[in-house]
Chain A
Amino acid sequence: MSTDLTFEQVVRDHQEMVFRTLLRLTGSREHLDDLAQDVFLRLYRALPSFRGEALITTYLYRIAVNVAQDEWKRRRRDRNSHVSLSDDTSGWEDRLAHPDRNAEQQMEESEFAQSVEEQLQCLSEIERTILVLYHQEERSYDQIAYALGMPIGTVRTHLHRGRKKLREGLQQRPTHERSATCTANR
């Protein structure tokens, strides 16, 4: 019982990070709760083989990425691979507070953030994952390399390529356009 209580504390400590990462990797709040539960259950099952060579957080990122990959595969199977973030259940970027800016700037930034989000979903899975882990989660190259099981050089290459595609995608589309058309090359 004490182990369960301890694990419950581990869940409490990391649940927000897992939800946040999964939300951006999958681009949807749909099934987010189930996916997050899956992450922690996989962690629990993997704990006996966890040798502590990495932080549990880094280990969790690895599992979260695996769960997100499974979700992408499931969506591909369902022929529902593209999910717009402009639905009613998302739009988290609209709620970001910018107390030092006026309303027009806030709206402008909000629309830009949404465009970035849409273009992010157009990148390849690996590029999106690396961009999210590096920028949003502020993970180091080492940690990303461990989480994804790839060399650091490859992580750098994907990061650079992902940012370039993101910029090109944003350059090729008007900011007022709300459709989630992918303009970035895969």
Chain B
Amino acid sequence: MSKVVDYLRSLSLKELEVKQPRRYVFEVSPDKLRDVIGGVIKVSPQTYVSAISGVDYINEGVIEVNYCLWVIEDKVMVVLKVRVPRDSPKVPTIYDLIPGALNSELEAYDLVGVVFEGNDKLRRGFLTPPEIASQNVFPLRKDFKV
């Protein structure tokens, strides 16, 4: 059994059911995120950020940020879901804990508009052209019309 999954279960986080093997999905509140991820890399240092995926649930008024971490030693993918309000989508940065999260945070900021507080490298125009970056619009939000 996975040490990281045991650790996350010990925190009594809400665990969601998934069909896929080797996937464990937990819901985390934004204020606890840094402690949880700090704990994960302490339990298993060979953990990297596979992706940070932002999903815009426009009908619920929520943006869901999925932190997909692959734990090399345990051979499991741990997904931490952070749900933040759509009008103020703020989560703390994890870039200082795992430097490999930088590009994923820049991408989620530029395309979905998730603000990673504490990340001093956040900038518009990382993946968007100047005419989009200069306006306050985010292409992968559902209200952005192509």
Chains A and B are bound partners = no
**What is the interface of chain B, defined by CB distance below 8 A to chain A?**
none
